[in-house]
A and B are shown apart, each in its own frame.
Chain A
């Protein structure tokens, strides 16, 4: 079963003459250990696509399946649970909780799900170790470098052992060298776990880290 399968998905904002088509008959399939880069300029629809795949937005038409989950049929509560348990997000600029330590930023995910605390802590420590952040586990985001913050964000996205991880411009706030290091890290972590990933980026220099790149222009996907 593919990690992601979206068929003929449309997303239209507004109605009548004010209607804006953000996503136009988009069809995409991502295998269960595949890493796909979604490339396009600003306003091309890549954020909308990422939001629909991550259960943050509902499509106007079409079907979206993430693993066994047909999320285009989900209501708000089911989508909240889906995001909490089956998908991982890495946002632009890391977007960490400023008053929590690196470890606690990872533990948020399990706290929201009400999981076993001891198990969650073991997993958080294991992830931090794998990401080379054991020595920074008790540091708050304000005392971490840009790269370290992004690694914490990756750790948070992997906490719930997701079937699909979505990266929203993970290198936009980083210089080229650090951006490449982060992309290398993302590839290593995703591939090492056999997890599927969609990486949204406008930086074509980063696409070679993915298994393949898909271009999006005016809401339409071009393989």
Chain B
């Protein structure tokens, strides 16, 4: 093990190629992961903010908020299901708005009845809590935004964090204001005053069990857990699967790079390793040296790659939604370490097969 460490310290040049390749792979993994997280967060914030365990759509909506309708009678029926603590209506409208005295912004106007993790109880009619990302688009506290063709006026009275919906900054308004915006956005889809697109359900029982009861006892509903609803959002599942495959392939490439490098290293040092075996080094000791080197090269690549990724993430344009999260960094670090270990392990068989007798006779 010490031998592996000493070689790494005294001959760093030998490891620069592999370390450099791994560093580039780490940067790619972190930026891909950061992009995935950024896109995911931008699409799903309004759902992830919910304290409710379930969201109930109408059965014919194909689990789409914009197509769903939940009337007061259905809400009452859900409320009567055992294990249901609270039911509140919600809905969203994707629409453009004009900041009075400023430019236009794309918005998701969310109507809601109950507070959640990020958003306080509904404000007064004609007022809204705005997602903090709208600040970058020219919205300021106290601004009035004229929404839709009818220019429904809404005043921004506070900021909320991480509540975006389908990549749009959200305005959180009380139900009356939301219905007004819905009418101006889609006159053909106007809803009765107490009708919402979906019902948020807080439970006192196991959420899956309550969802089963709602599905069985309230006809025409489609209850989903919040996690299920997040992945039912347009494009989220496909986006996650695509990125997961790219990231998986990149990890595999990292393993291959390390495997190839250490295979060459072992091949190049057959004489030295044979001599060490001849003077009493066990296969385990030689393999430990190799593992030490693989781990240290991977760690070094992760540290350097992480620093470069942070610097790159700080200078990418705001339109590119890269978000570097600790969780993603941890997954990448562990992933690179594990693939490096697996890659270096490919050379173990070769080490086992080195004949110590090869050290004598000048071979």
Chain A residues engaging chain B, CB cutoff 8 angstroms? 47, 50-51, 54, 56-57, 77, 80-81, 83-85, 89, 91-93, 95, 97-100, 104, 108-109, 111-113, 156, 168-169, 172
Contact A108 B279 (CB under 8 A): yes
Contact A112 B279 (CB under 8 A): yes
Other-chain residue from B7, B276, B357, B361 in contact with A108 (beta carbon distance below 8 A): B276
B269-305 CB mask vs A (1 if < 8 Å, else 0) is 0011001111111100100000000000000000000
Contacts of B361 in A (CB 8 A): 47, 51, 92, 168
Bound Cα distance A84, B285 (Å): 13
Bound Cα distance A92, B6 (Å): 24
Bound Cα distance A127, B281 (Å): 21
Contact A91 B275 (CB under 8 A): yes
The tally of residues in B whose CB lies under 8 Å from a CB in A reads 24
Query: Please, could you name 7 A-B residue pairs with CB atoms under 8 Å apart, sorted by A?
Result: A56-B360, A85-B280, A89-B279, A89-B359, A91-B278, A108-B276, A111-B3
* Given A54-B360, A109-B280, A111-B3, 9 other A-B residues pairs in contact with their CB atoms under 8 A: A56-B355, A56-B360, A80-B277, A89-B279, A95-B271, A95-B272, A99-B7, A112-B281, A168-B360
Distance in Å: Cβ of B94 to nearest Cβ of chain A: 63
Contact A51 B357 (CB under 8 A): yes
B349 interface residue (CB < 8 Å to A) = no
Contact B362 A92 (CB under 8 A): yes
* Closest partner residue, chain B, to A97 (CB atom): B272
Q: Which of B321-354 contact A (CB under 8 A)?
A: none
Bound Cα distance A166, B296 (Å): 37
Distance in Å: Cβ of A52 to nearest Cβ of chain B: 9
Contact A56 B280 (CB under 8 A): no
Distance in Å: Cβ of A109 to nearest Cβ of chain B: 6
Contact A83 B279 (CB under 8 A): yes
Bound Cα distance A113, B282 (Å): 10
Bound Cα distance A112, B278 (Å): 11
Contact B357 A111 (CB under 8 A): no
Distance in Å: Cβ of B363 to nearest Cβ of chain A: 9
Distance in Å: Cβ of A112 to nearest Cβ of chain B: 5
Contacts of B10 in A (CB 8 A): 99
B85 interface residue (CB < 8 Å to A) = no
Contact A84 B280 (CB under 8 A): yes
* Closest partner residue, chain B, to A159 (CB atom): B279
Bound Cα distance A93, B359 (Å): 11
Contact B360 A51 (CB under 8 A): yes
3 smallest A-B Cβ distances: which pairs? A84-B280, A47-B361, A56-B357
Bound Cα distance A112, B275 (Å): 13
Other-chain residue from A80, A91, A109 in contact with B282 (beta carbon distance below 8 A): A80
Contact B360 A172 (CB under 8 A): no
Residue picked from B2, B276, B355, B356, most chain A C-beta under 10 Å: B356
Contacts of B355 in A (CB 8 A): 56
Bound Cα distance A97, B272 (Å): 7
Bound Cα distance A113, B280 (Å): 8
Bound Cα distance A51, B358 (Å): 9
Contact A95 B275 (CB under 8 A): yes
Distance in Å: Cβ of B282 to nearest Cβ of chain A: 5
Contact A100 B6 (CB under 8 A): yes
Bound Cα distance A98, B273 (Å): 12
Contact B280 A169 (CB under 8 A): no
Contact A169 B11 (CB under 8 A): no
Contacts of B285 in A (CB 8 A): 112
Knowing A51-B357, A111-B2, A112-B285, say if A93 contacts B362 (CB, 8 Å): yes
Knowing A81-B280, A83-B280, A95-B275, say if A56 contacts B2 (CB, 8 Å): no
Contact B278 A54 (CB under 8 A): yes
* Closest partner residue, chain A, to B274 (CB atom): A95
* Closest partner residue, chain A, to B14 (CB atom): A99
Contact B3 A56 (CB under 8 A): no
Contact A56 B279 (CB under 8 A): no
Knowing A83-B356, A99-B7, A100-B6, say if A112 contacts B280 (CB, 8 Å): yes
Contacts of A80 in B (CB 8 A): 277, 280-282
Contacts of A172 in B (CB 8 A): 362
Knowing A91-B275, A112-B281, say if A97 contacts B360 (CB, 8 Å): no
Other-chain residue from A84, A89, A99, A169 in contact with B6 (beta carbon distance below 8 A): A99
Bound Cα distance A169, B359 (Å): 12
* Closest partner residue, chain A, to B356 (CB atom): A56
Contact B278 A56 (CB under 8 A): yes
Bound Cα distance A98, B362 (Å): 17
Contacts of B277 in A (CB 8 A): 80
Distance in Å: Cβ of B254 to nearest Cβ of chain A: 26
B1-42 CB mask vs A (1 if < 8 Å, else 0) is 011001100110000000000000000000000000000000
Residue picked from B271, B279, B281, most chain A C-beta under 10 Å: B279
